[in-house]
């Protein structure tokens, strides 16, 4: 399961296919006769660099696949993109997402026969965080419109941070005989494969700024017994075109 051969193979074919698509598109556009009816290219749609800053909300639908109940997270992110032509761009994005959870502070009480009589989860915050780093190949579906709608595949790596797991156990008959343990669960960095759908809404006549929104999903090749594999991220923020 930890093998990332499938991800590397997918990356190869995605890169080759995307470059071929960009080359064919650029050639076709260059050979298209110009006429008065040719739509004017919007400033936001022109070749060049742009950056985006946004808030991120993440959700996992793995149905408690991981043993720890972290299925939501929030944070901030940014990306940089280069518009190769009117129909294709490449994008590198990252985000820092976190959540506090109190589920895994175990409190176990045993009677004089050693039987468990209480097993609950008192308040105790454990901080979880992950950092998804994704490279996206975006195909722009509305090159002649002021609204810039794009979609495409994504590949990259996701880092899941380490955290503490607390177990608190003592005997009811001997309340001072207490076993309090803290386990450090190591984080991991896993390859990921996903998709990205985004929309830029340029503002003003110069279209230097835009409102940005996106939905991105990915599957990480991680230890599913600890961390959820499948995540969806919603993004809302602003973009700036150089």
How many domains does one find in the chain?
1
Q: Is 0.75 topped by the overall pTM? A: no
Tens-place pLDDT, residues 9-64? 554 565 556 556 555 555 655 565 555 555 577 888 889 999 999 999 999 876 55
Q: Range with the lowest mean pLDDT among 126-130, 145-149, 177-181?
A: 177-181
Residue corresponding to tokens 């990259």: 156
- Cβ neighbour number for residue 71 with a 10 Å cutoff: 19
CATH at 156 = 2.40.160.20
Q: What is the residue range of 184's domain?
A: 5-241
Give the number of other Cβ atoms within 10 Å of residue 72's Cβ.
Answer: 14
H-helix segments, 32-163:
none
pLDDT tens per residue, range 189-215: 999 999 999 999 999 888 999 999 999
On whether the CB atoms of residues 209 and 223 are closer than 8 A, the answer is no
Please choose, from the candidates 121, 132, 205, the residue with its C-alpha nearest in 3D space to the C-alpha of residue 169: 121
């Amino acid at each position: 399961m930890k093998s990332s051969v499938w991800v590397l193979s997918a990356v190869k074919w995605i890169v080759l296919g995307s470059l071929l698509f960009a080359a064919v598109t650029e050639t076709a556009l260059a050979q298209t006769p110009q006429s008065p009816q040719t739509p004017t290219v919007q400033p936001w749609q022109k070749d060049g660099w742009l950056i985006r800053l946004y808030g991120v909300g993440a959700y996992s639908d793995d149905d408690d696949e991981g043993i720890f109940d972290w299925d939501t997270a929030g944070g901030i992110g940014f990306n940089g993109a280069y518009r190769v032509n009117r129909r294709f761009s490449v994008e590198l994005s990252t985000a820092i997402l976190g959540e506090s959870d109190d589920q895994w502070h175990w409190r176990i009480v045993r009677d004089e026969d050693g039987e468990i009589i209480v097993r609950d989860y008192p308040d105790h915050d454990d901080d979880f965080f992950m950092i998804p780093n994704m490279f996206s190949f975006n195909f722009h579906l509305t090159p002649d419109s002021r609204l810039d709608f794009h979609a495409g595949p994504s590949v990259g790596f996701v880092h899941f941070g380490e955290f503490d797991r607390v177990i608190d156990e003592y005997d009811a008959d001997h309340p001072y005989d207490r076993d309090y343990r803290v386990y450090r669960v190591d984080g991991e960095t896993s390859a990921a494969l996903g998709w990205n759908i985004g929309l830029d809404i340029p503002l003003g006549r110069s279209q230097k700024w835009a409102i940005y929104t996106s939905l991105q999903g990915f599957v990480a090749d991680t230890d599913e017994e600890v961390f959820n594999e499948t995540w969806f991220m919603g993004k809302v923020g602003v973009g700036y075109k150089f």
